[in-house]
Structure 1
């Protein structure tokens, strides 16, 4: 397992210098991505609650 981990670290060290110039322009989008990653699950929860309430109302009629 250790040789595999060492190989992974070596690959990461080789790739990191190539990817560093790409990362700074993406930083400005982090707030938007965080907002989307919070809004999507909350929307799913809201839809689930709405569906359960509708099911509950149908059974009470």
Structure 2
């Protein structure tokens, strides 16, 4: 999944609240790093779900 964020000059970032803008800065390079973090988080959750499903399959075989 690709997330594309566009920031216009002089406008706030759509994802961050106003207090977050100061902490993250309005630097375009920092803003462009956000989708990468979202992708890593998504992959981590997906891998966790796959691991859980695999463990269930093993459990069912043992119980059968």
TM-score, length-scaled by structure 1: 0.56
Any runs of at least 4 consecutive aligned residues in structure 1 with deviations exceeding 2 A, and if so which?
A: 20-23
Count of aligned positions = 47
> 5+ residue gaps in structure 2?
1-17
TM-score, length-scaled by structure 2: 0.54
Structure with the larger RCO, 1 or 2 (CA within 8 Å, 6+ apart): 2
> 5+ residue gaps in structure 1?
1-12
Larger-gyration structure (1/2): 1
Structure with the higher fraction of residues in helix conformation: 1
